[in-house]
Amino acid sequence: MGLTQEEFGKRCRVTKGYISRLESGERENPSDVFLRNCCDAFSMPLEWLENGVGQLPIVDQTTASQPRPAAETRPDKPVNVSQSDLTGFMRVLLETVPMSGETLLKLTAQVWESPELSDDFKSKLVLGANIAFGERESGRKPDPK
């Protein structure tokens, strides 16, 4: 489509590094969120991408190079998420996806690189990851507060 990795990543709300890792094979499977973002960015039905069902719209260099209006790619208002919500999310993530401390570090580094997220959100998510990982490693149960 004639887009750079940075342009394509921006349209799909990921970093240039994420696109690079997909293209190089360093990351084998794109995330579901990334796939949905791509479908939104290029007006492509998710069903077509996942199953080959439905009509694929024609996307050429001209239409691909035209960015969608900001209102379509970003929420109008920032999302306020509490520290306890993000810590809880990280607990669930660590329970369902086996990962080492090194993998968690790489994950949080990727979040930190995202230009789409506020610094406050990034800080809360990294803190939540540290708390959840510490609980998992020590065998402690989370405080119900």
Q: What is the pLDDT of residues 99-124, one digit of tens each?
A: 788 888 888 888 778 777 778 888 88
Domains in the chain: boundaries: 5-73, 83-138
Helix (H, G, I), strand (E, B) or coil at 91: helix
Return d(Cα 45, Cα 43) in angstroms, integer: 7
The CATH number given to 5-73 is 1.10.260
pLDDT tens digits for range 4-50:
888 888 888 888 888 888 889 888 888 888 888 888 887 777 777 77
Residue 2 predicted with pLDDT over 60: yes
On the question of pLDDT at 68 being above 60, the answer is no
The answer to whether residues 127 and 141 touch, using CB atoms and an 8 Å cutoff, is no
Q: Which of 68, 79, 88 is nearest to 128 (CA)?
A: 88
- In Å, what is the CA distance from 64 to each residue of 4, 17, 37, 74? 11, 20, 14, 18
